[in-house]
A and B are shown apart, each in its own frame.
Chain A
């Protein structure tokens, strides 16, 4: 298949449809509006459902309902709207419902601005909603990866019966890059997907089984039983941590004097800066987490080569993922952080200057 030039917001929507998503509920917000508009245009053409909900709260609860009947479903928003979805996300984690949520992050807090930012890392990775739960969080750094992760997100959601968040930002949403899509699911594959959850989801009692009674629920008033249920969730999360950690390494070697860690759009910029400095004969490596949860702690720890003086973390926020990096580095070498706020994306020159100062 040939490559198509597309905005990230459109590419992720197209990839979701190809992955068999036929239900999409959302509310408009910049900088993700191309996504909802693409779905409005395309869902009717593939016999799917598109609803512009009355709010992000309603949208995520429609997702809860559609996931509860066992169908592939997606919603998307940007930071303020994702805050509104947190209630539903917590309920979905509690009821173990598979669904995909896309966050095209913008500057915050509050209404903030509409420029790219990474300020929702804590919200996505460390909670967001109430209670003990985990989202699987995927962070793309190109339009191609944004699209690829959409397909993977549905598979992960279905495999673990857990909501999955794709944590992108306004830059990835708005930027145009060539994308190559995976082939769309065949009718046979779509039918299989539609039936994959019949053992637990809300569905017709096809053979009139007297015992058929499926519940989608997170309520349990008996503390002992609730503790067991939540512990089971954490057994599942341990499986996810064992199997699904993903990251990219760049220019890692035993000669590295600096190890950078960055994710998403920030990692793209850091890569450009590293290229410049490598051309000048310096040795700098990069680890880019692709799964922000489960986090690649071991990958970062083992990337600290014998000559590394410092681990340098760059984010488009005030320093959020850096806390996970510190856990990974565990005091072995100093960890430094630099970030930009307000929806300002640092340039390769900014990063270069920061890195040069380390030598």
Chain B
């Protein structure tokens, strides 16, 4: 008998600290698998965010840096410039990347830093207990938008793939979801492509993963996936926004 699916070598034995059924874990695994498949375990380093993935530095079985909230793209820039022969990625939530760290992500993308950014969009601040994120949908109730997000007052949810696609430098930008096995397989391809481009030093790569937060949305894990399909996907359109390697500009 042969093992055809198991924990990749690029993960430590440490169990994830995510809630049961939270798709953060799938994103974490896909990144680990891509790094293993590209044979990069000894040359890779990641930057963990402040958010539910704050312990990502314990999960990945290679060198990791913890960054201050939102600053991962700047930290990754310093790491990549300091050791250009290494390959660097960041793992960031939507509060981390699209609120407090907006300047850092926009400018790292604009410089075309040779890093990969994995952006977990769950429309909420998970770690701090379900507050409104810049990606929270219009009308969506959170602990800090108890009457529903009112776009007239606080603005519409930010679409980061679209925003970053207005920049010239980024090499690859795609939005995928983690809401069914099929979606996960498509997400796996996107994550693999980002890591492959990273390995080939093509430029800045960005994958947004539509994810769930069963705990703060108040649904069971399966219902959370259905809710995201119905409510998030119409606003956050899946697809390739930029792929210079495939002629998508």
- A residues with CB within 8 A of B: 23, 25, 49, 51, 53-55, 57-59, 61-71, 73, 87-88, 91, 95, 202-206, 208, 212-219
Across the interface, do A61 and B64 meet the contact criterion of CB distance under 8 Å?
no
Across the interface, do B61 and A204 meet the contact criterion of CB distance under 8 Å?
no
Given contacts A88-B68, A202-B64, 11 further A-B contacts (CB under 8 A): A54-B106, A57-B103, A61-B104, A68-B75, A68-B79, A73-B78, A205-B63, A212-B62, A213-B61, A214-B64, A216-B65
A204 CA to B83 CA, complexed, in Å:
9
Across the interface, do A87 and B68 meet the contact criterion of CB distance under 8 Å?
yes
* Tally of contact residues, B, Cβ under 8 A: 35
Tell me if B74 counts as interface (CB < 8 A to partner A): yes
> Residue A204 contacts which of B67, B78, B81, B86 (CB distance < 8 angstroms)?
B86
A299 CA to B119 CA, complexed, in Å:
54
Across the interface, do A23 and B82 meet the contact criterion of CB distance under 8 Å?
yes
Interface residues of B, dominant DSSP: mixed
Binds A, one of B39-47, B144-152, B185-193, B236-244: B39-47
A-B contact pairs, 28 of them (CB 8 A): A25-B78, A54-B103, A57-B74, A61-B67, A61-B74, A62-B77, A63-B78, A64-B67, A64-B74, A65-B75, A66-B82, A68-B79, A73-B82, A88-B68, A91-B68, A202-B64, A202-B79, A203-B63, A203-B83, A203-B86, A204-B42, A205-B43, A208-B42, A213-B63, A215-B64, A215-B66, A216-B64, A218-B66
How far is the CB of B99 from the nearest CB of chain A, in Å?
Answer: 14
Mask, B214-229, CB within 8 Å of A = 1, is 0000000000000000
How far is the CB of A179 from the nearest CB of chain B, in Å?
Answer: 28
- CB-CB under 8 A from B86, the residues of chain A are 69, 202-204
Across the interface, do B66 and A62 meet the contact criterion of CB distance under 8 Å?
no
- CB-CB under 8 A from A61, the residues of chain B are 67-68, 71, 74-75, 78, 104
- CB-CB under 8 A from B42, the residues of chain A are 204-206, 208, 212
- CB-CB under 8 A from A202, the residues of chain B are 45, 63-65, 79, 83, 86
